[in-house]
Structure 1
Amino acid sequence: MSETYWRELQAQGLAVPSDRSLHELTAELTTMLGDPDPAVRDGLAVPVILTWLDRGVYDDLMSGLGDGMAIGLSAGLGESGTDTVFRRSLSARILGACLDRGTEHALVAPDRVLDWGDRLATWFLREQDLRGFVPGKGRAEAVSHGADALGALARSSHLGAPELTVVLDVLADRLLLPTEELFSHGEPDRLAAATMQVLHRDLVPLSVLEPWVARIAAHAGVRAAYDGRDPYLVRGNAESFLRALYLQLALGPQPPAVRSDLLLVVVDALRATNPDHLRAPGEHYLGTRRASARS
């Protein structure tokens, strides 16, 4: 159908039309998620699907809708710099909404939730197109939408401590993968927000969280390697994430049970990985040690 059809439907309040089947409408909307025109995918397809989800239109069809979004995660996977990223990224966004709706109303069986989680994780770690914004075509944001979806997964009561620990590992793996361009469109904040969803479940103990933070801090602490590679490409994303996690732990509402102890762990990691910024007055940084400016 034409873009005009959907704009008229939007102007009329997005009531489900009776002239076409919901299956046909959804198939068209799913295709529109990959449209290079942001007015089509972000301005029409996403609002329609999310509105119908919120209104319960898909409640009896939630498993099928989520399965369709999970399939969309593999569309063009491995490509970078092409328009296929939009379909993958927005499939993750909608799948996250399916997970949230399913959790709120107990609509999705545990096995299917875990299957969606596996497929999300596989896509998230294999995604090669990390562009936040594409000039002329709008937001791509695969990492951000993937983090949001993993946060929705973490909110599911079907995940216990072992599965939540896997979610944390997936978030860290994505954060620490080699990159030629640092995250610059809020991805560290979204990854930290997903981490907070895990922490809010109050199931993962500090004994697991401490080495997890240490692993990230090890990357954040990399300095000059003298091998010709920009060390900031190794440490930059990890540094930004630790700062974002500290901010959300310190200022976020409804703190998790581990907040106080974990804050100390994160503060120690930030001090260790930012010696040049957190040195005492009168000291200057000399690579791996400090020296007094008066000595």
Structure 2
Amino acid sequence: MHRLLAVVVLCAASALAPAFAACPPDGQTRESLEGLKVLKWTVPDAAERQVLAEHLIDCLGDPDPAMRDGIAYEALAHWMRADAFDELAMRSLRDKLFAALQADDPDGFRRPFAALVLSEVARTDRVKPWMTPEERGAMVEAASRYMASIDDYRGFDDQAGWRHGVAHGSDWLMQLAMNPALDRGQLDRILAAVATQVVPSAPHAYVFGEPGRLARPVLFIAKRGLHTPAEWEAWMTSFAPKLGEAKLAYVDEGWLARRHDLLAFLTALYLEADRSDDPQLQAIEPAIVAGLKTVP
């Protein structure tokens, strides 16, 4: 049922995908938005605030990092964390963000920033539930599909700023993983999504903190205590075969990049588990060590 609903949501979003307006929104300028930022995004009228928020979603694909990150993302995150939208407004924002995930993204900014804002949407539902179980399941599926679809590994650029698709997708999955309303099957779906990017199929050495961000949803899933030690060990040891043929060890650039990513991911998990007082995290430490031992 959840998978079917997710497909319906994504298809609907796809139909809306081309409908993006100019940025800044009509009636606004960069200067007026910067002034609103100085005022800590104070927009007293709820209807006006919602209209502006929906239009700012169009700015998540803007090539200017100050507009994309410093205005659009910051405003949307601020309002969501301030509980500034009712359920109807949240559903409208969520659906437009789903559409942004399906839109053309020639510069590679829109999709990762839509995912980052969707992590804030997921957080609102975690803090004060408003989604139905079906909607929540559809979001788990949408986030998992997004993570698995990522093939643009650009992180930060001095001129263009952040893209950071893997990290932003991880943040979205983390907020979902933290939600106690998710069941074991949905948590397994998140683990499967994370696994697609621990060792990317296209060799890429992560250098912008992605392994640590990928580790976060896994750690919150572990805190739930729904998986056995044997299940964790099977998961942690499943990545080494993705490194490639043994003959490539230490003589192939792609193999070395994959090894780097896997070690960084498992090390991030180990450090968090080892220094934690949470017995559920301490319990997965042997599984992480088993995973580390599989890495040549």
Name the TM tier (shorter chain): 0.7 to 0.9
Task: Provide the residue aligned with 1:281 in structure 2.
Answer: none
1:244 to 268, 271, 274: 268
Q: Aligned pair count?
A: 267
TM-score between both structures, scaled by the size of structure 2: 0.82
In our comparison, the structure showing a higher alpha carbon Rg is 1
Q: Which residue identity is paired with 1:264?
A: P
Where in structure 2 are the equivalents of 1:196-211 lying within 5 Å? 196-211=219-234
Task: Provide the residue aligned with 1:270 in structure 2.
Answer: 292
Task: Provide the residue aligned with 1:52 in structure 2.
Answer: 79
Distance 1:20 1:230 in 2: 51
Question: What percent identity do the matched residue pairs reach?
Answer: 25
1:88 to 82, 88, 111: 111
SS at match of 1:131: coil
* Contact 1:217/1:239 (8 A) holds in 2: no
Which sections of structure 2, spanning at least 5 residues, go unmatched? 1-27
Distance 2:238 2:37 in 1: 47
* Contact 1:130/1:143 (8 A) holds in 2: yes
Q: 1:90 offset after TM fit, Å?
A: 1.1
Q: 1:167 offset after TM fit, Å?
A: 0.9
Q: Call closer, same or farther: CA 1:109–1:164 in 2, change over 3 Å.
A: same
* Contact 2:203/2:254 (8 A) holds in 1: no
Q: Alignment RMSD, CA only?
A: 2.3
Q: 1:176 offset after TM fit, Å?
A: 2.8
Distance 1:95 1:249 in 2: 27
1:10 to 37, 59, 63: 37
Which sections of structure 1, spanning at least 5 residues, go unmatched? 275-295
Distance 2:109 2:253 in 1: 31
Q: Which residue identity is paired with 1:64?
A: S
1:157 to 172, 180, 198: 180
Distance 1:162 1:209 in 2: 15
**Residues 1:71 and 2:99 are matched in the alignment:** yes
SS at match of 1:157: coil
* Contact 2:205/2:258 (8 A) holds in 1: no
* Contact 1:33/1:87 (8 A) holds in 2: yes
1:194 to 200, 208, 217: 217
1:179 to 202, 219, 232: 202
Task: Provide the residue aligned with 2:13 in structure 1.
Answer: none
Q: 1:134 offset after TM fit, Å?
A: 2.6
1:62 to 85, 90, 95: 90
TM-score between both structures, scaled by the size of structure 1: 0.83
Distance 1:44 1:76 in 2: 21
Structure of higher RCO (CA pairs closer than 8 Å, 6+ residues apart)? 2
* Contact 1:59/1:107 (8 A) holds in 2: no
